[in-house]
Structure 1
Amino acid sequence: MKRKSFDRIVTAIGLGLAVFLLIAAGLLNWGAGFASDSVSSQLQAQEITFPAATGNPDESAEVTKFFADNGDKVLSDGKQAQMYADHYLGFHLSKMPTYAAASGASRAASAALAANPADPALKADAAAKAGMVETVFKGTMLRGTLLTAYAFGTLGSIAGIAAIVALIGSLVMLLLSILGLMHIRRVPEDATI
């Protein structure tokens, strides 16, 4: 094979790869912006206000500082959602039974009440246990939703980093392809591989 033909093929592949990486960078950047904007707008729409403290006396200084710095602010990004879910909701939910345990206790209290519907102590117990089920359910659902927002925010950040890497890769491939085109002009016609 002639050297010029080989160099043309390699240069064309390099240009194609540069275009592909440029398109990938654009799509990744769009995805990063979409994820970031979606997480931010959805969190802000819920108007969840950050407390200045978690109530956990055993938390790290980093967590205490994060809550102090973000106290009274509305949740607006994935990191805030993760900190609120793990260190505020998670701490308070850890003091409660799991949803399965609370639900089982509520069913047992309801069954006892059904056997003796006139007993005021059973009515109060069934109401308290039903309230616990509702509290645990809402808390675990909110925690799960906030951690999902954190995951999507993190994926958006990763896509943003990947967009920068793809753009740099595209520019490097374009530069190498230009150097390849310049090299083709210097290769003798009769050179072979």
Structure 2
Amino acid sequence: MKRKTLDLIVGAGLVVLAGLLLVAGLVLTSNANFANDYVKTQLSQQQITFKTADTLTAEEKQSACLVQYAGQPLNSGKQAECYANEFIGLHLKSIAGGKTYAQLGDVQNDLKAKIADAQKANDTTAATDLQKQLTDTNTARETVFKGETLRGLLLTSYGFSEFGAKAAQAALVAYLASGLLLLLGAAGLVHAARTPRNQGFAVPETTAKELSNT
């Protein structure tokens, strides 16, 4: 195979590969933009705003992101993560001793069983006290359910935004690789254009002598 032919094949192949990587980068960029725009639109519709710096409690001020985003509207994945974990998560710990929605369900069932036993024993005082505890637990469980639901939705938005960020990073790598391959391919084609049609590969002098002796 002539040197010119090889240069043309390699150069053209690198240019084609560069084009494929460029297309992949454009697709990844489109996906990243969609993810970012979608997350921003959905979060903006919630009309959530971080507490202003002067209204943060001592516990809340220990969170760097709550201080950083103080007073700002929530419209990004990072802000959603902060609000979900540092604000909602913090306040959920102060409700019903930090028990989750599922754990409070067990508490409810236990109280209902105790109320039934107290009623069977005609212990009105105990039944009344247990009923009050059950009412408080029902209220706490409903609050925890709302908090956990909102927290879950915000973290889902954060996760979706991270997919967008990863797509943007992958797109950058694809663009860089595409540019490098395009330069190499162009160099190969330029070299092919400058190489005489009948020129072959140069054979080292020592190798040429060995071939002539055989």
Highest Rg: 1 or 2? 2
Alpha-carbon distance in 2 for matches of 1:121, 1:45 = 43
Question: What corresponds to 1:89 in structure 2?
Answer: 88
Question: What corresponds to 1:190 in structure 2?
Answer: 199
Q: Contact (CA 8 Å) 2:43, 2:76: kept in 1 or not?
A: yes
Cα offset, 1:59, TM superposition:
4.9
CA deviation string 1:75-101 (max 9, x = no partner): 111111011011101111223212332
Task: Output the amino acid matched with 1:101.
Answer: Q
Alpha-carbon distance in 2 for matches of 1:40, 1:178 = 41
Question: What corresponds to 1:55 in structure 2?
Answer: 57
Question: What corresponds to 1:125 in structure 2?
Answer: 133
Alpha-carbon distance in 2 for matches of 1:11, 1:111 = 80
- TM-score, normalised to structure 1's length? 0.85
Listed as ranges, the matches of 1:14-163 within 5 Å are 14-52=14-52, 55-57=57-59, 59-60=61-62, 62-68=64-70, 71=71, 73-95=72-94, 96-115=98-117, 116=119, 119-163=127-171
In structure 2, the CA distance between the partners of 1:58 and 1:36, relative to structure 1 (3 Å rule), is: closer
Cα offset, 1:124, TM superposition:
2.0
CA deviation string 1:15-51 (max 9, x = no partner): 1211111111110111011100111111111222222
Alpha-carbon distance in 2 for matches of 1:136, 1:126 = 15
Corresponding pairs, count: 190
Consecutive unaligned residues of structure 2, counting only runs of 5 or more, are 203-214
SS of the equivalent of 1:50 reads coil
Q: Contact (CA 8 Å) 2:60, 2:66: kept in 1 or not?
A: no
CA RMSD of aligned residues (A): 2.3
SS of the equivalent of 1:51 reads coil
Question: What corresponds to 2:211 in structure 1?
Answer: none
- TM-score, normalised to structure 2's length? 0.78
